[in-house]
Amino acid sequence: MVSSGFAPLVGQAPAVELLTRAVTQNRIAPAYLFTGSQGVGRSLAARCFAELLLSNPRKSSASLRHRIDQGNHPDLLWVEPTYSHQGKLLSPAEAAEMGLKRKTPPVIRLEQVRQIAQFLGRPPLEAPRSVVVLNQAETMAEAAANGLLKTLEEPGQATLILLSPSVDALLPTLVSRCQRIPFYRLSEENLAQVLTQAGQAEILQQPQVLAIAQGSPGEAIASWQQLQAIPSELLDAATQIPCSVRAALELARQIDKALDTETQLWLITYLQHRYWQAQAKPGLLQQLETARRHLLNSVQPRLVWEVTLMAMVDL
């Protein structure tokens, strides 16, 4: 049964129904847009859907699943945001392995979109069609998005799957060429099921992490990892409003030195939840949101924290 291909996916029955119907009726769209919060199952659904699209009666399903998991199926291209370092594109995992501390978030680049066009320029080698998955498609710069638009106009014997938090995060012209599949945050029961199956049941005892996750298992796991990665002394200091300008500057120095940009962005989310639950002044939340925007726009992190923390002293 086709729907069994989505067995690992929990709490996303509407999406499973739409995708299952497309396969059983052999009405596969040239492009899909999976929308929803990070960590609710979009990536897993893309893997399950890709497995169905790439299935071949002459190959075992176990072998196909293994090749997809290992990233060595010739008719599947999985595209992730990258960093550019010394002329090479590196995934976040590769950058971390090299010990590189990046000041800006990774993005999907024009070079990667060109690789997609090259990949789709040949017919599939084994499967009935080629499949391309773009994770975090919202990170595409305008040039990359325009390049992808040309590919979507003539996808050939292929299906593209874009993953993005919302339709608003992409160019309207891209969205108009995709069939949208919405994904939703999980119920408490489904969230507990996923975390337990993933061996992360201890997170269920972390109310602050669960509050940040808001029904996203992936976000819960990522937040728990981020929380553990921040030195406890620094976390304690960051949760206290600086008592003086000097203290604010010192805390800004410590945050910039100890944490990469991704962890700093998560720290802002953590602090916002702490202050909101404590019914702090709205000005604190606004200052932190401004800091987030500056970090995402590649403003020097230490300067961002200095301005933010000094402003908190006066609130």
What pLDDT is recorded for position 65?
85
Q: Which residue has the higher pLDDT, 262 or 47?
A: 47
Same domain, 57 and 202: no
Residue 118 belongs to domain spanning: 2-182
What pLDDT is recorded for position 238?
94
Same domain, 103 and 159: yes
Tell me what the mean pLDDT of segment 128-145 comes to: 94
Question: pTM for this one?
Answer: 0.83
Which of 118, 151, 182 is at the close of a domain?
A: 182
Same domain, 136 and 74: yes
pLDDT at 2 over 70: no
Same domain, 164 and 236: no
List beta partners, residue 107: 82
Long-range contacts formed by 165-169: CB under 8 A, 24+ apart: 165/35, 165/36, 165/37, 165/38, 165/138, 166/35, 166/138, 167/33, 167/35, 169/137, 169/138
Same domain, 60 and 128: yes
Report how many domains make up the chain: 2
Quick check: 162 and 137 in contact, CB under 8 A? yes
Same domain, 120 and 247: no
Which of 147, 182, 217 is at the close of a domain?
A: 182
Which of 154, 182, 210 is at the close of a domain?
A: 182
Same domain, 163 and 207: no
What is the chain's mean pLDDT, rounded? Answer: 92
